[in-house]
Structure 1
Amino acid sequence: MKKTLTSRLKKIKLLVSDVDGVLTDGGAYYSDNGLHLKKFNIRDGMGMVLLRKAGYKLAIVTTEKTKLVELRAQRIGVDDLAQGIVSKVEAVEELMKKYSLTWEEVAFIGDDINDLPVLKKVGFAACPADGTVINRKAAHYVTEADGGHGCVREVCDLLLSLHYKGAAITELWLRK
């Protein structure tokens, strides 16, 4: 890992993620009777659970507002969920105020144009491999994985690798 990337990661205390195109592949499933479904990557969720156990704060900030996302956030133990958000910068600033953090201490994963203002402000900006060109250029780190296919886990693993090696990750999982 590059020294500049490591120095950015060491300051992080809060990971904020978008949903569509990051925690999901950006697709949506609709049934004939109007049922709306999204597919979430289980490894992304595990990465977030491990980060929480390691003492990081977790948040999801999304422009959409669905019960589905609320259920997923509850399942993985996200500290804060902000849905129906127009200005993600304002939402992240509220989180920073709540936890007494600076922009340097926030990591954000975003794939599309509505995430760009936050990507340009945070201490560590990540974008999935299949994110928009402008987001990939603005990011400090572009994941190898596409959105919904492990990109969040990849970022979680980067953060965890600063503190935990090998078997220590298993011990982290076993923590209550």
Structure 2
Amino acid sequence: MSPDHTLPPELIACARAVRLLAMDVDGVLSDGRLYFQTDGQEIKAFHTQDGHGIKLLRRAGIEVALITGRESPMVSRRAAALGIEHVYQGREDKLAVLRQLSARLGLEMEQVAYCGDDLPDLPAIRRSGLGISVPNAPAYVREHANWVTQRTGGHGAAREICDALMDAQGHWGAVVDTYLHEKL
């Protein structure tokens, strides 16, 4: 049983090397729209399948990071719920953050996958070993990505990435098997 969407064959070797998946938030983990209540409180919608994919990816030994230009308590809450330790908010220079994090984790940039959807993401997309974008990104961003997901941001794109990475690294079968076997 394979995941719904798999990587193009020419990207499998890049995906096998990935030890860190870093993502933008607005437009990747959310649909990019900003919701505000009358009291000014921000609301974000996150897809539960993305969250489960992130948990599975972390169990498979791949680190996950969020790097966003905005600051939001909702991002902190979502990251905490998913056990994501590497959360950088209010950071426009995403490549600088990615380089610092990679160095701290002892990783080369070829071991990093990065997914973004807008201009501030371009340097990180271009420098990562596996640069990813989403179909709701502008064409001038998508054209610089190694891979563009089929699912849009906030609607399963992160899950698609997680599943594809686990599949490329040989973890997918074991993940599915844990859910197929009945527990008595």
User: What range describes the TM-score normalised by the shorter chain of this pair?
Assistant: over 0.9
TM-score by length of 1: 0.93
Alpha-carbon contact 2:163-2:172 (below 8 Å) kept = no
Pairs within 5 Å for 1:3-42:
3-42=9-48
What corresponds to 1:125 in structure 2?
A: 131
Alpha-carbon distance in 1 for matches of 2:175, 2:37: 44
1:169 alignment partner, one of 173, 176, 179: 176
Structure 2 residue runs of 5 or longer lacking an equivalent are: 1-6
TM-score by length of 2: 0.89
What corresponds to 2:100 in structure 1?
A: 94
| CA deviations over 1:10-50 (Å, ceiling 9, x no partner) | 11000000000000000111122212101011111111000
| CA deviations over 1:137-162 (Å, ceiling 9, x no partner) | 01111111111000010010101112
Alpha-carbon distance in 1 for matches of 2:41, 2:111: 38
1:89 positional shift: 0.9
Seen in structure 2, the aligned counterparts of structure 1 residues 170 and 78 have a Cα distance that, compared at 3 Å, is farther
Pairs within 5 Å for 1:4-83:
4-83=10-89
Report the 3-state secondary structure (helix = DSSP H, G, I; strand = E; otherwise coil) of the residue aligned with 1:126.
Answer: strand
What corresponds to 1:146 in structure 2?
A: 152
RMSD: 1.6
Q: Percent identity?
A: 34
Q: How many residues align?
A: 173
Report the 3-state secondary structure (helix = DSSP H, G, I; strand = E; otherwise coil) of the residue aligned with 1:58.
Answer: strand
> Which residue type is aligned with residue 71 of structure 1?
R
Alpha-carbon distance in 2 for matches of 1:168, 1:84: 34
